[in-house]
């Protein structure tokens, strides 16, 4: 029974460490491509389209190079006046940091930024034609109530649609992160031909490999904590700005914040705290951006650590041979012959099934394997004690 449990623990350790590699890669991709900032820009674009039909019109982009530039900035999305206005908001110096877009925004901040963009000397940059439409929205008044009360068309639109659009944007970002995780898993496994069946066979038949991986379980859990915490930038950013606060009540409030994963969650939590000023929210955004940059360096270090720990177990993650044929060709082979050998390896139905299984298992994500390893590790002492009692009983 203990051997079967050790085999399960060892296999889960491998899956957790490989999942952490995928997670670190996804974090790096998300930060490099500024996915959260782009997601906010898309959400603001949808919001502005709901507020005024003029913003739904296509924005004229002259020249081929201009169209290429717009496609890079907003791939698979038609450039409209709403898109340009959303860009101006998300890149406004009050919200954005260095060359990246803002990651989150409050309703009050959105109104203030739009008013600034409509001013004679705005702090941010905005296209002249877009500013003309923005001015018409800000000056348009709607009658409401009895007696009629003059209210801004922009204020009504933001109040009506802001919450719905931002909730939808959050769902979209979560879905895209999941898609990227699956895509990275597919590429990672498919290119290296990582076979779940071969890995399990090595663990089940190799006592030394199994023992080495079992000893690695505590280290794997610690490593998982570090990698997964790279996504918890909001909590780290809140503690960072708490140190610089002169008001003790605000500092204590920030230190006592609940665990927060993303910068958007941190901004949402700050919105609910009445004692938190706009300066604190701005400082938080900058601190969260610094945490994102730091996460790139940490991800690289963690990738090296995980690779080293796997290598020390003498487990072959990437197969050298499938049957009698080398997976990546023989020494001295040309690039063409190596590619042919790589393709030929997938003619083995069992190997192909093993790689497909590995893709499915990695797609479950690091948190799944982290929890599985914790449960198995907690289960082992009780099973060991039970086996010892049965052995000691005459």
What is the 8-class DSSP label of residue 121? S
Q: Phi-psi bin for 332: left (phi > 0), alpha (psi -120 to 50), beta?
A: left
Angle at 176 between CA 170 and CA 180, to 5 degrees: 145
Q: Which pLDDT does position 266 carry in this prediction?
A: 75
Q: Which pLDDT does position 352 carry in this prediction?
A: 92
Write the CA distances from 142 to 50, 153, 157, 353, integer angstroms. Answer: 16, 6, 11, 63
Phi/psi of residue 305, each to 5°? -65, -45
Q: State whether residue 100 is helix, strand or coil.
A: strand
Segment 87-102, tens digit of pLDDT? 888 888 887 766 678 7
- Measured CA to CA, the distance from residue 292 to residue 1 in angstroms comes to 45
**E strand residue ranges, 291-383:** 321-322, 325-326
Q: Which pLDDT does position 26 carry in this prediction?
A: 82
Q: Which pLDDT does position 360 carry in this prediction?
A: 92
A 10 A CB-CB count for 259 gives 9
- Measured CA to CA, the distance from residue 82 to residue 84 in angstroms comes to 5
Omega within 30 of 0 (cis) for the link into 147 = yes
Angle at 83 between CA 63 and CA 26, to 5 degrees: 100
User: Which residues of the chain register pLDDT less than 50?
Assistant: 145-150, 296
- Measured CA to CA, the distance from residue 358 to residue 354 in angstroms comes to 6
Contact 350, 197 (CB under 8 A): yes
Q: Which pLDDT does position 296 carry in this prediction?
A: 47
Contact 138, 151 (CB under 8 A): no
Segment 193-215, tens digit of pLDDT? 999 999 999 998 888 888 888 88
- Measured CA to CA, the distance from residue 390 to residue 394 in angstroms comes to 8
Q: Which pLDDT does position 271 carry in this prediction?
A: 74
Residue ranges per structural domain of the chain? 2-31+195-382, 34-172
Contact 320, 193 (CB under 8 A): no
Q: Which pLDDT does position 357 carry in this prediction?
A: 94
Question: Residue 186 has which token pair?
Answer: 């597919």
DSSP 225-276: HHHHHTT-HHHHHHHHHHTT-SSHHHHHHHHTPPP--SHHHHHHHHHT-TT-
- Measured CA to CA, the distance from residue 59 to residue 201 in angstroms comes to 59
Q: State whether residue 242 is helix, strand or coil.
A: helix
Contact 241, 279 (CB under 8 A): no
């Amino acid at each position: 029974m203990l051997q079967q449990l050790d085999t399960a623990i060892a296999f889960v350790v491998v899956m957790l460490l490989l999942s952490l590699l995928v997670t670190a890669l996804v974090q790096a991709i998300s930060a490099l491509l500024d996915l959260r900032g782009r997601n906010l820009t898309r959400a603001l674009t949808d919001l502005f389209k709901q507020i005024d039909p003029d913003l739904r019109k296509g924005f004229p982009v002259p020249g081929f190079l201009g169209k290429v530039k717009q496609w890079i900035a907003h791939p698979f999305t038609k450039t409209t006046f709403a898109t340009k206005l959303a860009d101006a908001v998300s890149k406004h110096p009050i919200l954005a940091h260095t060359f990246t877009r803002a990651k989150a925004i409050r309703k009050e901040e959105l109104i203030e930024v739009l008013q600034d963009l409509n001013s004679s000397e705005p702090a941010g940059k905005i296209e002249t034609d877009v500013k003309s439409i923005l001015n018409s929205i800000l000056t348009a008044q709607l009658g409401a109530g009895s007696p009629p009360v003059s209210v801004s068309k922009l204020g009504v639109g933001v109040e009506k649609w802001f919450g719905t659009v931002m909730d939808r944007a959050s769902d979209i970002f979560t879905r895209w992160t999941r898609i990227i995780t699956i895509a990275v898993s597919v590429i990672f496994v498919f290119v290296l031909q990582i076979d779940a069946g071969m890995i399990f066979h090595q663990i089940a038949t190799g006592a030394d490999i199994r023992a080495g991986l079992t000893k690695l379980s505590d280290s794997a859990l610690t490593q998982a904590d570090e990698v997964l915490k790279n996504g918890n930038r909001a909590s780290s950013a809140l503690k960072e700005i708490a140190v610089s606060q002169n008001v003790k009540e605000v500092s204590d409030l920030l230190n006592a914040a609940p665990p927060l994963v993303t910068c958007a969650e941190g901004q949402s939590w700050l919105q609910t705290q009445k004692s938190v000023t706009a300066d604190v929210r701005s400082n938080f955004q900058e601190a969260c951006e610094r945490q994102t940059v730091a996460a790139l360096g940490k991800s690289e270090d963690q990738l090296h650590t995980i690779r080293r720990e796997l290598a020390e177990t003498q487990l072959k993650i990437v197969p050298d041979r499938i049957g009698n044929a080398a997976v990546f060709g023989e020494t001295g082979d040309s690039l063409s012959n190596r590619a042919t050998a790589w393709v030929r390896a997938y003619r083995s139905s069992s190997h192909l099934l093993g790689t497909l299984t590995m893709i499915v298992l990695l797609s479950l994500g690091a948190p799944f394997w982290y929890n599985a390893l914790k449960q198995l590790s907690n289960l082992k002492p009780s099973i060991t004690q039970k086996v010892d009692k049965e052995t000691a009983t005459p």
